[in-house]
Amino acid sequence: DSGVTQTPKHLITATGQRVTLRCSPRSGDLSVYWYQQSLDQGLQFLIQYYNGEERAKGNILERFSAQQFPDLHSELNLSSLELGDSALYFCASSVGSGSPGNTIYFGEGSWLTVV
Amino acid sequence: DAKTTQPPSMDCAEGRAANLPCNHSTISGNEYVYWYRQIHSQGPQYIIHGLKNNETNEMASLIITEDRKSSTLILPHATLRDTAVYYCIVRVYFRGANNLFFGTGTRLTVIP
């Protein structure tokens, strides 16, 4: 158990809909990261937040957005969903802002299926 | 893009040491090498990381060559539960932070 908690574990929704994925980082961790894993793209970095502020942005679509709240939990919002958004979404956390020596720990993921 | 090259697959007999190689010939002086594994579709599990020196923890050993252009992850006594995809990652500075960029990894199969 990494200490990173993600909900829901599984989610099925229709095209065009909007969903929110939630992540609680490990106790004491200030950074939250979101990754997407689909069959054809592998694990892709989406976005990082540090202590409530956006820190780095990867291959995140404009239809997707994220935020980190004062209690440090984070939410990833996916809107206007398409079939191709079906994937595993992982949240991860680390203690610092992204220092290369600080280990990043991953949650167990949220399975999103768009039908 | 990932800065590492790994063999796509490897087999290892149960109880033997599994040696997983990784090439990272373009690594910079302050970039760390990280290893993670993913069992089926579970979350990536942290194994070990290092900068210059060899490292060992309860899971594995990491051997980094002196020129830092390659490394080897060693699982000393592989078990069936070690069957997974192993990712070697050079943690690079990108758009304001040092994040992890995953490649395709090595699929290790431990054979009874």
- Do the Cβ atoms of A43 and B102 come within 8 Å? yes
Per-residue pLDDT reduced to its tens digit, B36-90: 999 988 999 999 999 998 999 999 999 999 999 999 999 999 999 999 999 999 9
Sheet with B55-56: strands ordered across: B18-23, B70-75, B61-64, B55-56
Measured between beta carbons, the chain B residues lying within 8 angstroms of A109 are 41-43
Which residues, at least 6 apart from A20, have a Cβ–Cβ distance to it below 8 Å?
A: A75, A76, A77, A78
Asked if B99's CB is within 8 angstroms of A56's CB, the reply is yes
Instruction: Please list every residue in chain B whose beta carbon sits closer than 8 Å to the beta carbon of residue A103.
Output: 34, 46, 49
Q: What is the mean pLDDT of residues A23-47?
A: 92
Collapsing DSSP to helix, strand or coil, A18 comes out as coil
In sequence order, the 6+-apart residues with CB closer than 8 A to the CB of A52 are: A68, A69, A70, A72
> Looking at chain B, which residue has its C-alpha nearest residue A97?
B97
Cβ neighbours of A82 (radius 10 Å): 12
Q: Is any Cβ of chain A less than 8 angstroms from the Cβ of B95? A: yes
Percentage of residues in chain A having pLDDT higher than 90: 85
The pLDDT tens digits for A82-101 are 999 999 999 999 997 778 78
Give, in degrees to the nearest 5, the angle at Cα B58 between B81 and B104: 55
Tokens read off for B59: 């899971």
User: Cβ A42–B41 below 8 Å, yes or no?
Assistant: no
Provide the pLDDT confidence category of residue B2 given band limits of 50, 70 and 90: low
